[in-house]
Structure 1
Amino acid sequence: MTTYTSLYIYTYLHSIKFVCINMDHINICRAPQVIYTHKYKSVDENDLDPDEGNENLCHACTLPIFSTPYKRYRDYIFHECCWKIPEVLTDHPLHLKVPLQLYTLNRMVPFQFYKCNTASGCVICTQCKKMCNGSFYQCHQGSCGFTIDLICARLVVDILHRSHKHTLVPFRSRSALITCEACESVGNGEFYWCSLCDFYIHQSCALLHNNIRHEKHKQHSLTLTYHLPQDSLKKIKCVECSLCHGKLSKNSGVYICTRCDFAAHIKCAISEEHGGFEHVPIREAVGGLIHFPMMDEHKSAMQYMRMDNNGGSSNENNNEKNIVAIDNIHDHSLILHEDYLEGSSSSSSRYLCDACVEPISGPFYSCSECPDFYLHKCCANLPPFLHIPHPYCSGSSWTFMPKRRLSNVFPNRFFCHGCCKMSNGFAYQCNECQRILDLSCALMPEIITHEAHGKSHILFLSRGSFYNKYSTTYSLYNLYYGCGSCHNCKLDVRNALLPSTVEHKLDRHPLKLMYSSSSASISSLEDDDKFCEICEDGVDTQDSFYHCEKCVTLFHTRCIPRVGDRLSKFKFGGSVRVGCHSCPLTSFQLLTSYSYTCGLCNYTIEGRREGVALECKKCCYWLHVDCAERERFRDFNWSWISLDI
């Protein structure tokens, strides 16, 4: 979140030059006291990419910004804590008699004047004998010249670094041996320290290259992560260092490959013993990763996820042994289309894939006999088994389940344990715990980047229950993405798959996906005006929502049909026969509060609560899905179901 506050700076009335006066061989540079008001930019949530965080130095303490909230004025950047340091330091234990005045080497920031205590014009800290390059405190009484930098002054300089969830402070150890939590080496020197956890990290380890190309793994670059999310698939897979073959620690840093399962200790990756390396900018590394969100709701995320960077299929070996035979997916012959439907002038987005329940785009298959069966070509080339380790049970093998295997759950519906939504597409089922994931959740990439959180921050696919920052939901057995740079960022797959723009009949403009109230038009709204145009309930603008900036309208993501609602992965239509009615019935979505009466149990079908029902338009006949399921089970013939892929 960005705010603007008034800043008072000292400037010159008639000249921009400092006037130097020689007094007792001490150079004093004085700045006039004329005050003007300017604006500075305050950034409360640091989304700098890791390379920028390492390179940008605080103009006061000269330490890197890292992930710390900061304030920026023109070309100068400050830690938020460094901006709040006092202008006068009284009763300092190293200089009790006279208060110390705050000075800075830069003349464009609001500190007064300073003394050069060396013949060369440099300012040296009296305590550590190092040159002061930023702000410092100095005694201006007589010829004292006592000078101390911010670190030696023992001021609280709080640093946020992606290696630890708490704030860190600079710490100098001259004799005590300390273990670095990143490289696991023992020694003394300059560290960052957490007083709550007794966590230490070398200042040099905090400045390691975020991305390198190693001689032992030239095909892909290696990305530095100080902590992998504990429930991430990458954490479960990478248990051994690929260079020394030792066990990887749960808490120490690691260089990992985002394309394969190569991983190495920090000390092994940077050691000359295991070969050299070269620095690769982090932006080049994340450029090859899948970036969300999708552009609009007419684009298929499944096709995007199933294509590698060269435009080919993501299957390692695209042969008959690695994919499910089409004969086992559908009973009829399928026709391949390279583009939209021949002879159709309308967009193909109104057609949905029966496997992933996402908009159809070429290449895809259509059925020669079923008028409403469509299949992405990538969804027809799926592996029969997936080997995905997960924390729910000891098993890691998942079996492909097309609709014909799900027919015992009428009408092919199931609950996805990844996104917690109902679906009737294809799925994968765990062979141990029998949990089911729909195609998009089962095939989500292990590593992505997302516009909602730092374009160069790498997000790792993880599994488990958590509180979602972007949707205010507590989800059990959910899939989410955890950031390798920020400890508090978790984005569930439902929000990760939301398109960037959508259309809705209540607004003639495209609706933009928002993740916070950073827009000026939203910030100006009163709380009573922040309501959803569809359900008229309040909208929390700190969560994800859709927004029209021209009309200043807000929409819950869950209220947009086919996008964020609980039935967005359910394909309606088709036909099914049940014994209680002579005509075929079609599934449809109940989008209004209008109530229908079930023709079998005579109870009301609640539109907002039920969501889906079966109907015969010819006879104006409706059925609960549960009633139709019980009716069909009575005379259901199970013998035709094949258990072989």
Structure 2
Amino acid sequence: MDIVGEFHLIENDGKSFLEYHHSKYHPIPQIQSPPSSDNKFINNHFLQSLFLCPKERWRDAFRVRTQHYTFHPIISSPECCYTYHSVHPLFWCNNKEFEKDGGCDICNGVDFGTDYYLCVYCDEKYHRECVQSPLKIKSPYHPQHSLQLYYRRYIPPIIKCLCCERIASGLLYYCDICEVFMHPVCAMRPIPFVIDQPKRHDHPLTFFPRQASLTCNVCGLLRKNYFTYICVKCNFVAHKDCMYFPRIIKISRHRHRISYTTSLQSGEWFCGVCRQSIETSYGAYTCDKCCDYFVHSICALGKDMWDGKDLEGVPEEDDITEDVVPFIMISKGVILHFLHDHHLYLQVSMLYDENKFCQACVLPIFEGDFYSCIECDFILHETCAKYGRKLQHALHPHPLTLKLVSPYESGCYGCDACGRVCGGFNYGCHLKECNFDLDIRCASISEPFDYQGHEHPLYLALNPEEKPICHICKIKCKKQLNCIICDYIICLKCTTLPSKVRYKHDKHFLRVLCGEEVCEKSWCEVCEHDLRDTNVIYWCDECCITVHIDCLFGKDPYLKHGHFYKLYGYKHQTFCKSNTSRPLCNYCRKRCQNKIFMRDNIMLCSVRCV
């Protein structure tokens, strides 16, 4: 049973579909399990065939040695063979209500609909398609080659289904020539042969299986292995997903709404997101208020760009993010900030004290004016005090709200842009499903960004799933800025390092130094270790002092000393090391450089050791 069943053109309610069909499995047979003690019943050739539990097929696949550790070809037929397999009774369930509880245990998919199989022995539910999946299938979505049934372990790299673009693991169909993957449910799903009322065209569109040969008029891309529909009358081509692009949307990279247009006026235009040129003969999004702002269709609908809402017919006032002032001006030089109960007084820059730090960015007061509270130790940089209560940032599609992490919760958060553990102010999304937090240093990043260590303007990266190597720290970026001229990449962790700082044993400012300039320096003033393997340091031009970043700020510079933090289920209190002692970390056995994390008389030097 190499290739089982095929797709047929059928009519349903006046609409044409390509539907997978196999005469043996349609209609669904009444499944019954034979008595285990009745061998005559089992050997009776009139016995109705039973389907094999998918887990039995999975176990058979793992018995076969393959070159690929992650991929195991399924070798067992969907039907049960009593000679080789133990019988796991499968019961066909047909519920009137949509079944959402749990997921298919063999393909890791969800949404059973109304029809599925239940294995009494495993106590698991399976999609009908996963149970009946043949060893090979030929899909109109990928007509070039047959797809073979495999089981894939859920380990990196992440692969996605050609149809639904969800993660593909467990039971799946795979073309090893084209590197195409499909869930069994997606591979057997009915395909609309004709779409009568597409959103982006006036005429019906017909399914066209040769996807790789035509450029989509909606997105302007020639995408291999994408489902394509055509209009012969108009010479119009559209991917299936592109036909339903929204008409009016709001993206995180622009302050106004943008609307879809089928073509642009002649000229040389560049995308406001990826900064690449736009072909005027294909569809794109444009701003009606800004005559020169255009975005590729695909760029506009990216994960970090768009919140998934079509705003056609929705009043524009509904998506305005007001820049609410964060404080009340009591008198000249006196304010009441909404995140603090006492009045704050404007102070002129003082002598450097490493123990005095801003409650918002958690950096020391190196220079500039600041606000301080005379009733407690609450201090804010003047610039940090002015951060608005609401923010629409390019890294997130929803409005963000400025807040202070509650000491009754964890007391800290992880920034989704730079990955640092922070204890200061943050901008958070009000939607629980997002769980998005941005520290105020990363929130200050805007496009184009002028970085002191690079000669060209930098822009935020488009694809959130790409994790390139930062040119400064040589570590994979969580979020990054790119140069569109020279391939320069810098992560937000390095971007937001203070450009100049103070060191307690130097009366001058130290500036950040990176790249080849570091190689010319010899050793760190604090730890006295070599700097040859270091990519970024702080350097004093007057005294020629060089210091590691961790030696200057500590490994966790954005957590406040003297506070309690709940880390990995335990409450830790932070202390600043004294000048007379540097205790050993109980985990790494190294001297604590800056902060000390204490839990039950255990001393640790960093969150990593915690």
TM-score (norm 1): 0.37
